[in-house]
Structure 1
Amino acid sequence: MDPELTTLARSASLTLVTLMATNAWERARDGVVALWRRAVPERADAVAAELENTREDLATDPAAEGELAAEWQGRIRRLLAGHPEAAVPLRDLLHELAPATAPAAPAVTQHATGSGESRIYQAGRDLRITERSTER
């Protein structure tokens, strides 16, 4: 299988499982079912049921998120292998869902080492220092 399609399947499965616990879930579910309905219509209702079962499994055991994503990665990969034309609408769906999966803010990590009488000032954004030296 094309490595690009494998990467797309991985990304789609992670997005799908991540959205199962959000307000964007219904849109994600409907989009995935629509993909199957176009490519393999006889499986669409079963896929809808499998998505609901996966969501219930995730609610019961949040630690299973990676395992559930791997299961969906396999399903999506097989869909794309048999129907590569589904890659375009899948990419469109992921692009549409992207704001729902974007992190609120990037993580910031700061490290500092001081010695003697040094002073260290760190900030994640603006920093204003108003101390005045008492030495003359």
Structure 2
Amino acid sequence: MLEEVTQLAEAGAATLVGVILTDTWEAARAGFVRLFRRGDEGQQAAIETQLVVGAELVRQAEDAEAARQSLAPMWRFQLAELLRQHPEAIAELSSWVEESRAAQPRTHWTAIQNVDTRDNSRANAVIHGNIIVHEAKPGLNAS
């Protein structure tokens, strides 16, 4: 259970800092603040303030990605504490992570291609491009 909480807190922090100042920031921020509704109003206000300050730090940073990454440990700690005090929040945080990640546009695609040939066969393959094969007529020397 402890490892699950740690991994979820890590995923939540990474997701949060990844969406700062993106098109989905406002919706993600509102959902994130709702996670802390279990505390008093002062805690929610403090979380909201930390989010605003963090976003401003990213906005003003020369290296926005480095600024985002510097915020992640604080949010990882905050989320781990939330889950330790309120284990019932695990499902809600997990759902928030999935929804927030799904709302982000995909900027990186991974393509995997496996090609197997056997016996007297030939394979021609390409990813993200064209392939043109000019067959030589049987009996003609290609030279």
**Cα deviation code 1:38-73 (max 9, x no counterpart):** 344430011101101011111222122211111111
TM-score by length of 1: 0.77
TM-score by length of 2: 0.74
Q: Where in structure 2 are the equivalents of 1:43-54 lying within 5 Å?
A: 43-54=43-54
Q: Judging changes above 3 Å, is the alpha-carbon distance between structure 1 residues 50 and 17 closer, same or farther for their aligned structure 2 residues?
A: same
Contact 1:19–1:100 (CA under 8 A) maintained in structure 2: no
User: 1:42 maps to which residue?
Assistant: 42
Q: In 1, distance between residues paired with 2:101 and 2:69?
A: 19
Q: In 2, distance between residues paired with 1:35 and 1:41?
A: 12
Q: Judging changes above 3 Å, is the alpha-carbon distance between structure 1 residues 102 and 10 closer, same or farther for their aligned structure 2 residues?
A: farther
Contact 2:13–2:76 (CA under 8 A) maintained in structure 1: yes
User: 1:20 maps to which residue?
Assistant: 20
Q: In 1, distance between residues paired with 2:59 and 2:69?
A: 13
Contact 2:125–2:131 (CA under 8 A) maintained in structure 1: no
1:16 maps to amino acid: L
Count of aligned positions: 126
Q: In 1, distance between residues paired with 2:94 and 2:41?
A: 20
Q: In 2, distance between residues paired with 1:130 and 1:9?
A: 51
1:32 matched to 2:35? The reply is no
Q: In 2, distance between residues paired with 1:49 and 1:9?
A: 20
Q: In 2, distance between residues paired with 1:130 and 1:46?
A: 64
Q: Select 1:84's aligned residue among 83, 87, 105.
A: 87
User: 2:6 maps to which residue?
Assistant: 6
1:128 matched to 2:131? The reply is yes
Identity across matched positions, percent:
29
Q: Select 1:93's aligned residue among 87, 91, 96.
A: 96
* Higher radius of gyration, 1 or 2: 2
Q: In 2, distance between residues paired with 1:38 and 1:46?
A: 13
**Cα deviation code 1:96-133 (max 9, x no counterpart):** 11213463342459xxxxxxxxxxx8732453314455
